[in-house]
Amino acid sequence: MTHWMTLMALSLLASPDSSRFALRGVVLDPTRAAVAGAQVTAVPEGGGPAASAATGTRGEFNLALPPGRYTVTASAAGFQSASRTLSAVDSGAASLDFVLKVVPFAESVTVSAEGGYQVASISTATRTLTPLRDVPQSVTVVTRALVRDQLMLSMADVIRYVPGIGTHQGENNRDQVVIRGNNSSADFFLNGVRDDVQYYRDLYNLERVEALKGSNAMMFGRGGGGGVVNRVTKEAVFEPIQEATVQGGSFGHLRFTGDADRPLGDKVAFRLNGMYENSDSFRDAVGLERYGVNPTLTFAASSRTMIRLGYEHLHDTRVADRGIPSYQGTPADLDPSTFFGNPRDSHVRASVDLGSALVEHEAGQVLIRNRTLLGGYDRFYQNFVPGAVNPDKTQVALTSYNNATERQNVFNQTDVVWKVSTGGLGHTLLAGAEIGRQATDNFRSTGFFDDTATTIQVPYADPIIDTPVTFRQSATDADNHLRTHVGAAYVQDQVEVSSALQLVGGVRFDRFDLEYHNNRNGDTIGRVDDLVSPRAGIVFKPVTPVSVYGSYTVSYLPSSGDQFSSLTVITQQLEPEKFTNLELGAKWDARPDLSLTAAVYQLDRTNTRSTDPNDPTRIVQTGSQRTNGFELGINGRLAPRVSVAGGYAFQDATVTSATAAAREGAVVAQVPRHTFSLWTMGEVLPKVALGLGVIHRSDMFAAIDNTVTLPGYTRVDLAAYYVLGKTVRVQANVENLFDARYFVNADNNNNISPGYPRVLRVGLATTF
């Protein structure tokens, strides 16, 4: 009898109770993105044991319930709980989808209440929604809460708190980054789609910024040698939002932003974000004016199909400012506000129009996603460039030029994601394709002072001039039209071997076809590159909150460069440069809302250009560069009312084999050995919060010849927040509290950007 009962018990345990009610569904945030790790609990009316389950990476859950009436509640950190009631019957089934509302900041004194500084999962790194600790790659996410707490204004502000990435001056007319020793003005993406034109991006319409470090063409295609920076925009959600902010401060700073969302029934939602800024600078006669508007529309065609449409117009004008020169190996000892040239004839203008469309459809276990981005870019800059200082420090060489660029981008991506189990293994399969077309026109003119000289000498102590300048093309100025076509296909498998072991493998094929037409002489040249980019990773989780990973990734940069501007009959023959990243790391979710990360890596750049030692008229591809590095990161909450973000990076970036620009052993420009940043903010009294930030950077070279050093520095920032009632937040931020003199970055040895002196900014934010 005992043996028979044991067999019966085992049989019952082994076989599901067919009389149970099967409840399944998904938990989503207001943007209809999955909420992983949410808790779903079914409580029977009249008492009895509750049933519960946690959502998976796609927000899905499953519960088996005895017959009865239940209250089902979905809850997650940073969201308001939602409840539904249902009646469970024998052998029945139902589906419940929950859309959780974000906890509004007015309900908490800490202004980072909307999820804080930590993000649990992202889609960009793998094109599938994956917890960050399961991504075999170093990723830093800067959230909207951190942007707001620091009153950030630009991508350069964001990068300050990303270990392993620095900002390049970019001639002070564009965003430009140095990621793990690799310099690029094109490794920018918008919602995972290439946005590579040289301009200043704004933050007014962003949900977060994701910095993915290490070459990874499997996800992003050509370029991205050191990594990429991806902006994730706000989208229309099914929840009313009405927010407005105004900022003012030192040096004539004035800025307004607005964010309004309206559900138009239960199928359509509309959102509008806008921005206007008019600000001066501590630099003489330097200022900017910019505005942007971004409407978005979300259409829930069904419970399985979502359509999102968006359009952004951004207009940015500012004075072009190339900074100050160097003298005897360090930045010149000028007043940091000193401007070189004629500020009235020095200006930057960018007009950007971006249209986007996203369609997502779930068909059983298959997710189909199609995203399109159309971009029209019109930019122009005209600037004065300081050069060498004479030996007695009385005169500085000055040149001038202007440049116009128009580009039209069209990119379309299709992803198919399928979750399936085979042979005891769980697979998240990805197959995708991308097509793109880019058309670019470049036109450059040289400045002739008094219509004759391309260079003049200006006084070292008083270099603002009013000398007439005529702009016309010299013998080498660009006048060209470029056309690129890109076709790509990729596959990837994320294999769950067990709860402790996961594997990631994939490969991408890109066909990059460039045609370059020189309008000056009628020449047309072209090149086609077939690029194969693999990716391999392993993730081991000894316990659920901890992961240890290793990865191998590859990217390529065609010989035309990241802006296609350098193709000639010589470079036409060159193979693409290759970037290979080997990385080991660890990630620990010390609390549900606090993550710690560490990574050590080796990134090799090979196939770079060098001069043939036996024939100086020939180019050979024997040059190479290596970056060895170590990164630490922290993001989230140290305690329920104390948030923290920052990290440390060590970088050793050197030329390992002589290139056309540098000797073997040269240190890569604008890559400091040590960088450190830490920001913490916490509530000290009811309705009062204080923030403290520290930024440190060691010495670095301005250019690859290693003759000019930008000294290291430490900067301290403060902030204070006060909540009035439930709808108004008053904020004050002090940057560079101790008024340290420092230099942020450079474009070369004689175009060096001084850092801001002490700055006060105040902000008022309200919901209504």
| Per-residue pLDDT tens over the stretch 190-214 | 999 999 999 999 999 999 999 999 9
Q: Residue 268: left if φ>0, alpha if ψ -120 to 50, beta else—which one?
A: beta
Q: Closest by alpha carbon to 578, among 507, 519, 633, 626?
A: 626
Helix (H) or strand (E) holding 146: helix 144-149
CA distances from 523 to 461, 482, 505, 566 (A): 46, 12, 43, 14
CA separation (Å) from 653 to 25, 605, 660, 664, 665? 49, 10, 17, 12, 9
From CA 352, how far away is CA 373, in angstroms rounded? 13
CA distance 280 to 292: 18
Which residue do the tokens 């097509």 mark?
435
Q: In sequence order, what are the residues at sequence separation of 6 or more whose Cβ sits closer than 8 angstroms to the Cβ of residue 481?
A: 439, 440, 441, 516, 517, 519
For 58, 423, 496, the CA distances from 427, given in Å and listed in that order, are 13, 10, 6
Listed residue (163, 217, 226, 168) closest to 194, CA to CA: 217
Asked if 226 contacts 178 with a C-beta cutoff of 8 angstroms, the reply is yes
Domains plus CATH for the chain? 17-99 (2.60.40.10), 233-330+338-767 (2.40.170.20)
C-alpha 660 chain-centroid distance: 31
3-class SS of residue 612: coil
Residue 13 CB contacts under 8 Å (≥ 6 apart), including other chains: none
Name the region of 107 (left: φ>0; alpha: ψ -120 to 50; beta: rest).
alpha
CA distance 175 to 152: 15
User: What would the 3-class secondary structure string for 727-752 be?
Assistant: CEEEEEEEECCCCCCCEEEEEECCEE
Is there a contact between 273 and 258 (Cβ–Cβ < 8 Å)? yes
Q: What are phi and psi of 163, to 5 degrees?
A: -60, 135
Count of beta carbons in the 10 Å neighbourhood of residue 297: 17
Which residue, among 530, 529, 587, 585, has the nearest Cα to 552 in the 3D structure? 585
What is the model's pLDDT at position 32?
62
With a cut of 70, which residues of the chain have pLDDT below it? 1-19, 31-33, 57-58, 78, 102-115, 612, 616-617
Burial label for 394, CB within 10 Å (0-12, 13-18, 19+), is: exposed
| pLDDT given at position 114 | 43
> Where does residue 278 rank: exposed (0-12), middle (13-18), buried (19+ CB within 10 A)?
middle
- Amino acid, res. 458: V
Please give the single-letter amino acid code of residue 759: V
Helices (H) and strands (E) in the chain, counts: 4, 47
Q: Is 346 helix (H, G, I), strand (E, B) or coil?
A: coil
Q: Three-class SS string for 183-240?
A: EECCCEEECCEECCCCCCCCCCCEEEEEEEECCCHHHHCCCCCCEEEEEEECCCCCCC
Token readout for 663 is 């000797």
- Residues 337 and 287: their CA atoms lie apart, in Å, by 12
Helix (H) or strand (E) holding 8: helix 2-14
Nearest to 46 by CA among 65, 71, 64: 71
Phi-psi region of 344 (alpha: psi -120 to 50; beta: other; left: phi over 0): alpha
Alpha-helix residue ranges (DSSP H) falling in 543-624: none
Distance from the first to the final alpha carbon of the chain: 71
Residue with tokens 């909420």: 35
| Type and span of the H or E element at 529 | strand 524-540
Using left for φ > 0, alpha for ψ between -120 and 50, and beta otherwise, residue 656 falls in alpha
Residue 288 tokens read as: 């900017």
The confidence score (pLDDT) of residue 302 equals 87
Residues comprising the chain, all counted: 768
Residue 71 half-sphere exposure, CB side, CA atoms within 13 Å?
9
Q: Which two tokens stand for residue 534?
A: 């693999």
Residues 150 and 717: beta-carbon distance below 8 Å = yes
From the list 358, 356, 382, 385, the residue with the least C-alpha distance to 369 is: 358
pLDDT for res 198: 94
- Supply the pLDDT for residue 565: 76
Q: Report the chain's C-alpha Rg in angstroms.
A: 28
Contact 657, 678 (CB under 8 A): no
Which tokens in the block code for residue 541? 């989780």
Whole-number Å distance between alpha carbons of 23 and 16: 14
Rounded Cα distance between 549 and 685, Å, is 41
CB 283 within 8 A of CB 339: yes
